[in-house]
Structure 1
């Protein structure tokens, strides 16, 4: 399993029941996130391991740097994690819908 998935491949599977974790800070998340994403800021990741599924899940951030670090750390801890390359910025640039604090509140 690859450590990263290109944004166009993630778009193709996003409508499925995929586990998506947004590791941006809460203020970034509430401003706009991929629908269905659960917010677990990178700064709190170690404290929230119990809320992260051991099944395959995807990690997203703003551009892909934090999500790649998070996916690597989670894999080292035995999780099946894949970083979404390009992050939320690429998701938005490709014209996809974004949820906001008002439209979709999910947080861990």
Structure 2
């Protein structure tokens, strides 16, 4: 029962909080290229989820912080959990690009 009451671990920011970070933070959009082409946050780098999970050391540095986003926040949440366990400093972008209303 106590396990059900535990807070979900991990760091999160809303998609709209990214406006203050554009150009200052490493933002990674893990959607597939065809999804990314429909629009993303300015300066976000597209690395599809499978590529990132299968070879994180090729794309990430353990000394940096990364903001991970997808369409709705589900894939990014799962990816952040995995990457955190691997020792990477990642922050999940809740709501994903579908909730972003900023000045991209």
Specify if TM > 0.5. Answer: yes
Q: 1:95 and 1:9 mapped to 2: Cα distance?
A: 8
CA shift digits 1:43-70 (9 cap, x unpaired): 2223331212321110010111111111
Structure 1 residue 2: deviation in Å? 4.7
8 A Cα contact 2:52 2:59, kept in partner: no
1:11-90 equivalences under 5 Å are: 11-15=19-23, 17-49=24-56, 50-54=58-62, 55-90=64-99
Greater Rg, structure 1 or structure 2? 2
Tell me, what secondary structure is at the counterpart of 2:54? Answer: helix
Q: 2:102 and 2:76 mapped to 1: Cα distance?
A: 21
Give the aligned CA root-mean-square deviation in angstroms.
1.8
Tell me, what secondary structure is at the counterpart of 1:84? Answer: strand
8 A Cα contact 1:64 1:84, kept in partner: yes
TM-score by structure 2 length? 0.79
Structure 1 residue 39: deviation in Å? 0.9
TM-score by structure 1 length? 0.76
Report runs of 4+ in structure 1 exceeding 6 Å deviation.
none
CA shift digits 1:58-95 (9 cap, x unpaired): 0010111111111111101000000111111111xx14
Gaps of 5+ in 1: 98-108
Q: 2:38 and 2:15 mapped to 1: Cα distance?
A: 20
May I ask how many residue pairs the two structures share in their alignment? 94
8 A Cα contact 2:71 2:96, kept in partner: yes
